[in-house]
Structure 1
Amino acid sequence: MTHGALLALMVLIACTSGCASSIHQRPHVDGVLYPEPSANAITFWGHACAYIDVGGFGIVTDPVFMQRWVVVRHRLIPIPPPEAYDQTQLILISHAHHDHLDPKTLARFSPNAVILAPVPAARYLSRHGIRAHVMSPGSEYRIPGGSVTAVAANHPGGRNAVKPSADGRAVGYVIRTSTVTIYYTGDTKYFPGFATVGAQYRPDIVLLNVNRHLHSTDALLAIADLGAPVVIPAHYGAYSGPSVRLEPRWRGELVQALGSTIVPLEVGESMRIPGPRSGVAPAPASVEDTSKCILR
């Protein structure tokens, strides 16, 4: 073995050993950064995770609290304490990638919390003994006073998949009540599905992934298609990665172009959910639950 190869091997072993120990470290919990979520508000918890309170009903999007989701992606911030999410009643999983789905994180939540997930994510969870309701584009799940509908996303849906597709293996979610419609995009690139959601649901608030998959011109096009008066950027703030230095610029571009339409939130910060727009149709009083339950 050459000197250079030996040195490279030693560096790799040192890095891997250090990372392996870090992966299993107990995450630091911060009750100050993450106070109990406000009622009728959207509270940003970093990356793709937010706590959405609609009329006292608690919904969490893509919670991942692990220290690292791959060897080189480490957590930059503490995690919420149990009392911040113990009222969660519904968990929305958009797809099965490591930074959006972690069985150990889901195990922290109440066993009474219902999990909605597309097929690949639900199957992955079933192998870990976690039950999920399978959602595909068009599936609806009833909540008190409204519904949650899965919509297509253009993104790889499998655990280690890399080829994006709008085939329903990755989804977003539209939350509808009598007073507000909220669209959580999950993780997606720009595609015609944004125009479909805008025309069909007329969202009041969009929780939009602004990241390497969707930024700059494409993000502006997506926002124009959706027509929402409020857009909250997401998919930043919790983990290291090659896009960390670019993300503030991407959010800044949106603020510069669209002003108060864009509402960037710091981790732990909340935005009150405003009243309904004039002409917004209320959610139906009764919606068929077209999700399916999957468990190993």
Structure 2
Amino acid sequence: MRLEAVSGFPQRGSPGLFWLGQAGFWIETGAHRVLIDPYLSDSLAMKYAGAKNDHKRMAAPPILVEDLPRPDLVLVTHAHTDHMDPGTLAPLAARFPDLAFVVPAARASVARERIGEGANLVPVDAGEVFEPLPGLELTVFPAAHEALERDEAGRHVFLGYGIASGRLRIYHSGDSIPFEGLDAALAAFAPDIALLPVSGRDARRLAAGIPGNFHLDEAVALARHTPYLVPHHFGMFAFNTLDPQKIDAAARVTPRPAIVKPALGKTLRIVPGHEGARHGSEGIPHG
């Protein structure tokens, strides 16, 4: 398979990835339409107006929530607002009352408050493997947003998801740093595409209450047996991002995984039957 960047939104029935900004993706598997961690509002800018880290967007949303087509499933990795956003999820639940939202069981009460009392929530925990829709298998992974945090019942607060539909396998780590056992778990799942956050981490941000993610080199190392790495969690907030030129530079010198930088407004079309050509940061083979 290969990833091919084309302008516009994904087409129903045609496998592809559309970056919604931050950690959000609209995923077309070919048989299912899945949203994960969509943040399409200004919830955080309103919450932190006037603060040092004001959470103003660096770019407008690539689509308005009211213009989203009906998804088959929505996945939420954790309760930080740029992942579990009331300004995005509640309107979706209001438009599509039977739409299922897969959420961490450890934060189900928060999800109920933000998405809606009548929302169709599917609480899950790491280690579960199930079929939320016919032909779509979901594997729930733990994640460590600085730490492997659990609630009082022992359930993981931060999650990742493995999506399997037909021959296509996609892994979204959620917000995470490396932790013991993750490498083996990813190897066992054997994704075609790894969606990993690369905003990095440091003591300054942690002291300001901003937990960290993979550094770019850590994401590359984790995905070393995966055909494609799509980095994300950059370009949203100026105080917590990565220079995208670093992704371009890494893509030029990394044969595997092929690093494909997503771009707002473009679909990474998943084309079967080709693997092996090294791809640049936006999916264009190097000459």
Structure 1 unaligned spans of 5+: 1-32, 156-162, 279-296
2:102 corresponds to: 116
1:261 corresponds to: 258
Change (3 A) 1:263 1:79: closer
1:172 corresponds to: 160
Amino acid at match of 1:125: A
Alignment deviations for residues 141-160 of structure 1 (CA, whole Å, 9 cap, x no partner):
312313011111112xxxxx
Task: Note the 1:1-296 alignment, pairs <5 A.
Answer: 35-38=8-11, 39-70=14-45, 71=48, 72-75=54-57, 76-82=59-65, 84-109=67-92, 110-128=96-114, 129=117, 130-142=119-131, 143-155=133-145, 164-165=147-148, 167=150, 168-212=156-200, 213-224=213-224, 227-237=225-235, 239-244=236-241, 246-259=242-255, 261-275=258-272
* SS of 2:184 mapped into structure 1: helix
Q: For structure 1, which segment, 179-188 or 264-273, has the greater mean C-alpha deviation from structure 2 after superposition? A: 264-273
Give the structure-2-normalised TM-score. 0.74
Instruction: Tell me the matched-pair count.
Output: 235
Q: CA deviation at 1:276?
A: 7.3
Change (3 A) 1:34 1:135: farther
Amino acid at match of 1:127: E
* SS of 2:91 mapped into structure 1: coil
Alignment RMSD (CA, Å)? 2.5
Amino acid at match of 2:272: G
Change (3 A) 1:114 1:276: farther
**Conserved in 1, the CA contact under 8 Å of 2:35 and 2:73?**
yes
**Conserved in 2, the CA contact under 8 Å of 1:179 and 1:275?**
no
Q: For structure 1, which segment, 172-181 or 69-78, has the greater mean C-alpha deviation from structure 2 after superposition? A: 69-78
Q: CA deviation at 1:252?
A: 3.0
CA–CA distance in 1 between the matches of 2:194 and 2:67? 23
**Conserved in 2, the CA contact under 8 Å of 1:210 and 1:251?**
no
Q: CA deviation at 1:35?
A: 4.4
CA–CA distance in 1 between the matches of 2:137 and 2:74? 13
Change (3 A) 1:89 1:173: same
Alignment deviations for residues 117-144 of structure 1 (CA, whole Å, 9 cap, x no partner):
1124322022342442111112233123
**Conserved in 2, the CA contact under 8 Å of 1:180 and 1:275?**
no
* SS of 2:44 mapped into structure 1: strand
Tell which structure's C-alpha radius of gyration is larger: 1
CA–CA distance in 1 between the matches of 2:266 and 2:62? 14
Structure 2 unaligned spans of 5+: 1-5, 49-53, 151-155, 201-212, 276-287
Q: CA deviation at 1:171?
A: 0.5
**Conserved in 2, the CA contact under 8 Å of 1:44 and 1:265?**
yes
Q: For structure 1, which segment, 73-82 or 60-69, has the greater mean C-alpha deviation from structure 2 after superposition? A: 73-82
Amino acid at match of 2:42: Q
**Conserved in 1, the CA contact under 8 Å of 2:44 and 2:55?**
yes
* SS of 1:108 mapped into structure 2: helix
Give the structure-1-normalised TM-score. 0.71
CA–CA distance in 2 between the matches of 1:169 and 1:83? 29
CA–CA distance in 2 between the matches of 1:262 and 1:99? 24
| Misfit runs of 4+, over 6 Å | none
Q: CA deviation at 1:97?
A: 0.8
**Conserved in 1, the CA contact under 8 Å of 2:40 and 2:65?**
no
